[in-house]
Amino acid sequence: MKKKLIVFTLALSIVALYRLPPIHQSQNYHHFANQTEYGEIPNFWNIISNVGFLLVAAAGWPRQIARWREPWRRACFQTLLIGTALTAFGSAYYHAQPSDTRLVWDRLPMTIVFMCVLTFTIEEQLDPLLARRLFVPLLTVGLLSVIYWRFSGDLRPYILVQFYPLILIPVLLCFSKREGVTSLGPAKQ
């Protein structure tokens, strides 16, 4: 049932998105509410807030890597942490001088994180074998969505990569019946 739901929601999302004309990046996106300059650093708070991503990645690395026994799970978790750390650098680079060219370096690592989280959700809520098979293809699709946007100007694939997991993950969690507990409360006996 869940696999059919994934296929159906993905197909519906793709059809709905591609019925729209190409979506281009608004240049207003680059004007952030907080434009505080501190010393020589523009958009200071937008840049410095990225330290949190580095701290999360650093905290996760030594303690958590060892807990993943299967190589593909360890690789997925390492990729998630690397993507989180790279998000700090990519976002800081972008916020230092916001532009479409620099936005690529903000979005690429975020897609790595999105796809790893989606992979782990599929693994936990649906099928570990399917998750293992989808790990590299999901990463590839995520990265290609940003590259496609950069060269075509069309955000539709990136929008799908960014928002489809936000739809799918709650759906999978709502239908979860793993270990006698559903995300909606204890399973009925």
* Residue-wise pLDDT tens digits, 34-49: 677 788 887 888 888 8
Give the pLDDT mean for 12-17: 86
* DSSP collapsed to 3 states, 93-116: HHHHCCCHHHHHHHHHHHHHHHHH
Give 181's pLDDT tier (boundaries 50, 70, 90): very low
166 within domain boundaries = yes
Give 170's pLDDT tier (boundaries 50, 70, 90): confident
pLDDT at 178: 55
162 within domain boundaries = yes
* Whole-angstrom distance, CA of residue 1 vs CA of residue 21: 32
Are the CB atoms for 125 and 176 separated by under 8 Å?
Answer: yes
185 within domain boundaries = no
Give the pLDDT mean for 177-182: 48
19 within domain boundaries = no
156 within domain boundaries = yes
* Whole-angstrom distance, CA of residue 147 vs CA of residue 53: 23
119 within domain boundaries = yes
- Total domains present in the chain: 1
Task: Tell me which of 14-18, 57-61, 67-71 is least confident.
Answer: 67-71
135 within domain boundaries = yes
Task: Tell me which of 7-21, 73-87, 136-150 is least confident.
Answer: 7-21
Tell me which residue range forms the domain holding 170.
2-11+45-176
pLDDT at 18: 86
17 within domain boundaries = no
